[in-house]
Amino acid sequence: MSNDGARRHLVLVGLMGAGKTTVGAACATRLARPFVDTDDVVEANTGMTVAELFAHEGEARFRELERQAVVDACATPAPAVIACGGGAVVDADNRRRLHRAGFVVWLQGAPATLMAGRPLLEGRGTATLERLAVVRAAAYEATADALVDTDGRTVHEVVDAVLEVYGQ
């Protein structure tokens, strides 16, 4: 498909630990584009970390701020690479907006793989991620144009796979 015109951004979605930020930043470098991470936008707009927001203002407030961050990211004038927080696609407005604004790639890995890079999740079992993987699968699928499997691949290989499905 064409990735010009209205759907000009490259958007990465997927569970926490899937590598959206690392892979997105590397894709942005390769494409010589700005990189926008919705969690970073929320943190910059509030002066609080995502963890602080969850703790002090609650998840509902975080999701409101995240929705605004998705609006802002999609409105980036230059074609960008956008990494979304893992839960952004749960919101139907976000799903529609991201799908309209970009070519959406779902980075998918097994929960055990996702945990490996996350010291905060390690030791807590894969139950949370396994549950989220099931609950969110339909939302990721509905948003995504393509799926890239991250299991057993280096960051470099995942970046190559993303750019290949993106047609770059």
Binding footprint of ligand S3P on the chain (CB under 6 A): 16, 20-21, 39, 50, 85-87
Of 14 and 101, the one with the shorter C-beta distance to ligand S3P is 14
- The kind and range of the H/E element at 93 are helix 92-101
Of 32 and 134, the one with the shorter C-beta distance to ligand S3P is 134
CB 129 within 8 A of CB 15: yes
Of 118 and 167, the one with the shorter C-beta distance to ligand S3P is 118
DSSP letters along 92-129, please? HHHHHHHHHHEEEEEEE--HHHHHHT-TTTTTS-SHHH
Q: How far is CA 74 from CA 101, 103, 153, in A?
A: 6, 11, 29
- The kind and range of the H/E element at 52 are helix 50-57
At its nearest, how many Å lie between ligand S3P and the CB of residue 168?
23
29 dihedral zone (left: phi>0; alpha: psi -120 to 50; beta): alpha
At its nearest, how many Å lie between ligand S3P and the CB of residue 13?
9
At its nearest, how many Å lie between ligand S3P and the CB of residue 136?
8
- The kind and range of the H/E element at 15 are none
Of 151 and 167, the one with the shorter C-beta distance to ligand S3P is 151
At its nearest, how many Å lie between ligand S3P and the CB of residue 14?
7
Of 5 and 88, the one with the shorter C-beta distance to ligand S3P is 88
At its nearest, how many Å lie between ligand S3P and the CB of residue 151?
17
